[in-house]
Amino acid sequence: MANLKIVFVLYPGVTHLDFTGPHQVLVRTPGAEVIVASLGGQDIEAEGLVFTRLADLAQIERCDVLCIPGGFGTTEAMQDEAFMAQVRRLGAGATYLTSVCTGSLILGAAGFLQGREAATHWAWRELLPGFGARVSEARVARDGNVITGGGVTAGIDFALVLLEELAGRDYAEAIQLGLEYAPAPPFNAGRPELARPEVLAAVKARMAAAIDGRAEAAAEAAGRLQPA
Catalytic residues: 101
| Residue 34 near residue 65, CB atoms below 8 Å | no
- Torsion sign, CA atoms 101, 78, 68, 94: positive
Residues 6+ apart with CB under 8 A from 181: 156, 160
- Among candidate residues 149, 153, 116, the one with its CA nearest the CA of residue 135: 116
46 DSSP β-pair partners: 49
For residue 74, the surrounding DSSP H or E stretch is helix 74-79
The shares of helix, strand and coil residues in the chain, as percent rounded to the nearest 5, are 45, 20, 35
